[in-house]
Structure 1
Amino acid sequence: MTTTAPPPPLLSAQGLHVTFPGRHGAPAARAVDGVELDIRAGEIVALVGESGCGKTTLARSLLGLVTPAAGRITFAGKPLEYSSRALKAYRRRVQLVLQDPTGSLNPRHTVYDAVAEGLRIHGRTGNERAAVAEALAHAGLRPPERFFLRYPHELSGGQRQRVVIAGALVLEPELIVADEPVASLDASVRGEILALLLRLRTELGLSALVVTHDLGLAWNIADRVAVMYLGRIVETGEVEQVLTAPRHPYTQALLSVLPEAQGDPVVLTGEPPDPSRIPTGCRFHARCQVLASGEAERAGVADRCRTEDLEVLDGGGGDQVACHWARAPGRPGD
């Protein structure tokens, strides 16, 4: 019997490291510290974690906005090049959607000009009016002509976010990177924007990387989830598997504070460590509730948690976890 190999990834990060110089002779901050991540055509991947874990820096590096210190990014099988011409061509195919539509839109520009801006920057010829109208319609602003001459202050927050999305769609990208796409919106319109992103995947075949701190959002929109902590992905897999049976204590803690969670919330002690001083052993061990409770000791892995680093997880999409305790003999999923 023959098996069908999975399709190659559309976007792939391989051994990615991004560092920022320290101040006054301090060690460099390892914002992204060895990441493997694949996104396939038509797939939505959620990248989740606390503020400061490195997820936005990773997203910016995938967009070519930050040059990695090591590793490489490939798109459609070809390595990303960092010349101005190559990056301009790349950004026609990979577009960014930011979390703050008010800050993303020039208050002096009409909706039409805001959406047409990408076409003009990239010198796209053809019927500009038709392209703008089509993008607005895909973003759910219908009839589009009714919005052409409006200004951002005349729109609701949800409408402004749809204009930002239309500005990305007008270049007909293959992938969008959405950084906290509903964080600044009222709860009443968040569901509408998430439904829009899912519809765009169905209608246009778009892939998406959705960067968020909200695991509930990941559950509603993603095919796969990658949980990031201190510059590295610590758990990844199909969204149902990771969010219904999380194996990493950090993922368990993030899930425990959702309104629908069963049991008491896990309160993590302290703040995430400084990325210029990543601890030895598991990078989560200083805040780990499993180590603090003695469960890791009973499983015989406490010393390894404190002293033995874990390998970088493969980006290919299988269910994986970087945790000595989760992998201890006899534990589910071992």
Structure 2
Amino acid sequence: MTTDDPLLSADPLLSAGDLHITFPGRRGAPPARAVDGVDLDIKPGEIVALVGESGCGKTTLARSLLGLVAPTSGRVTFGGKPLDYAGRALKAYRKRVQLVLQDPSGSLNPRHTVYEAVAEGLRIHGYGGDEQATVADALSRAGLRPPERFFLRYPHELSGGQRQRVVIAGALVLEPELIVADEPVASLDASVRGEILALLLKLREELGLSALVVTHDLGLAWNIADRVAVMYLGRIVETGTVEEVLTSPQHPYTQALLSVLPEAPGDPVVLTGEPPDPSRIPGGCRFHARCQVLASGEAERAGVADRCRTEDLPVLSGGGETQVACHWAAVNVSPSGV
């Protein structure tokens, strides 16, 4: 992305500021801090990939941005206005921001035809126009042509890729400004994934759609995103343009995620243990218990090992500049480190 790219100067369409989402602990356990201080901006026409392991908080963050989970503290704004969680205001917001789920089989009612599935959003929002023409247009934009051929089909009569296109058509029918796609190709065959990613890019080009793509797959982020935000244990630990983050990762966690891609040079980094419990977030850098840089002695040689274990790192800002929340990266890789 070049420095004269309009995405760098545009005001955010959707913005999260110091977002915290806490869930009560079970059987007297401490509260789980699923999202523990996140700033994130998505600009008009921008595709942002939110990446991380399962359990890192990325789906909870996405649900909050959709208005499905109210934050414990912090704010979500859309078009510069705070998100209103009152019923009528939230219904209007959900028309402008649509969700595309991971499993099209689970998100489509097996008893509803394709036409009914796509028209459902129009009926919920009291659409007064030509329903059939609008459904046909959405199906056509999603790559199901001629659309009338699919009207009376049921989900079980479609391929996995066709079902995902129906889900996308159901989102497009309301003409949203932003879609949140949660693992949009995870359940699809490799041969179909590229088609769905190409469709999302085409929709951005044709309609000016913005998108937040939630994924554990950095290869997918490389193919579709303008910007990437890497999340670990409730916080974004590295962010920047996809080219900068994925060709020159600064955070050890990002380096480990990239190392397991088939085309990555060298041996994969095997992280020890599971991500820590969000109800027991460790002091210092929240990644330090699994960090290969700390375990190898590199952090000690750089003079930051004690800081890694004891000194917390600030929340990264939500803008487009490259940032990393890592004591070691701050002194060894780039002055942009926190």
C-alpha distance in structure 1 between counterparts of 2:174 and 2:333, whole Å:
48
Runs of 4+ in 1 over 4 A off after TM superposition: none
Q: 2:260 aligns with which of 257, 260, 276?
A: 257
2:282 is aligned to 279
Matched, 1:103 2:114: no
1:325 is aligned to 328
SS of equivalent to 1:114: helix
SS of equivalent to 1:177: strand
Q: 1:139 aligns with which of 118, 138, 142?
A: 142
C-alpha distance in structure 2 between counterparts of 1:277 and 1:108, whole Å:
43
C-alpha distance in structure 1 between counterparts of 2:95 and 2:286, whole Å:
37
1:297 is aligned to 300
C-alpha distance in structure 1 between counterparts of 2:56 and 2:79, whole Å:
27
Q: 1:15 aligns with which of 15, 18, 31?
A: 18
1:40 is aligned to 43
C-alpha distance in structure 2 between counterparts of 1:332 and 1:316, whole Å:
18
C-alpha distance in structure 2 between counterparts of 1:214 and 1:228, whole Å:
12
User: How far does the alpha carbon of each residue in 1:186-219 deviate from its partner, in whole angstroms, 9 at most, with x for none?
Assistant: 0010000000000000000000000000000000
SS of equivalent to 1:318: coil
Asked whether the 8 Å contact 2:250–2:333 carries over to 1, the reply is no
User: How far does the alpha carbon of each residue in 1:112-134 deviate from its partner, in whole angstroms, 9 at most, with x for none?
Assistant: 00000000001011100010000
2:119 is aligned to 116
Q: How far is the alpha carbon of 1:247 from its aligned partner?
A: 0.0
Q: How far is the alpha carbon of 1:333 from its aligned partner?
A: 4.4
1:185 is aligned to 188
One-letter amino acid of the counterpart of residue 192, structure 1: E
C-alpha distance in structure 1 between counterparts of 2:308 and 2:269, whole Å:
19
TM-score under structure 2 normalisation? 0.97
Q: How far is the alpha carbon of 1:296 from its aligned partner?
A: 0.2
2:202 is aligned to 199
One-letter amino acid of the counterpart of residue 281, structure 1: G
One-letter amino acid of the counterpart of residue 22, structure 1: G
Q: How far is the alpha carbon of 1:176 from its aligned partner?
A: 0.1
C-alpha distance in structure 2 between counterparts of 1:263 and 1:199, whole Å:
35
C-alpha distance in structure 2 between counterparts of 1:125 and 1:240, whole Å:
44
1:68 is aligned to 71
C-alpha distance in structure 1 between counterparts of 2:304 and 2:244, whole Å:
24
C-alpha distance in structure 1 between counterparts of 2:89 and 2:38, whole Å:
23
SS of equivalent to 1:296: helix
SS of equivalent to 2:27: helix
The equivalences for 1:152-167 within 5 A come to: 152-167=155-170
C-alpha distance in structure 1 between counterparts of 2:263 and 2:10, whole Å:
35
Q: How far is the alpha carbon of 1:173 from its aligned partner?
A: 0.1
C-alpha distance in structure 2 between counterparts of 1:157 and 1:25, whole Å:
43
Q: Which runs of 5+ in 1 are unaligned?
A: none
C-alpha distance in structure 2 between counterparts of 1:35 and 1:292, whole Å:
27
SS of equivalent to 2:294: helix
2:52 is aligned to 49
Q: Which runs of 5+ in 2 are unaligned?
A: none
One-letter amino acid of the counterpart of residue 322, structure 1: A
Q: How far is the alpha carbon of 1:180 from its aligned partner?
A: 0.1
SS of equivalent to 1:24: coil
1:315 is aligned to 318
C-alpha distance in structure 2 between counterparts of 1:166 and 1:189, whole Å:
17
SS of equivalent to 1:163: helix
2:33 is aligned to 30
1:269 is aligned to 272
SS of equivalent to 2:328: coil
SS of equivalent to 1:112: helix
1:222 is aligned to 225
* Aligned residue pair count: 331
2:89 is aligned to 86
C-alpha distance in structure 1 between counterparts of 2:133 and 2:156, whole Å:
24
C-alpha distance in structure 1 between counterparts of 2:115 and 2:213, whole Å:
26
One-letter amino acid of the counterpart of residue 108, structure 2: L
Q: How far is the alpha carbon of 1:332 from its aligned partner?
A: 3.9
Matched, 1:150 2:156: no
One-letter amino acid of the counterpart of residue 100, structure 1: D
One-letter amino acid of the counterpart of residue 309, structure 1: D
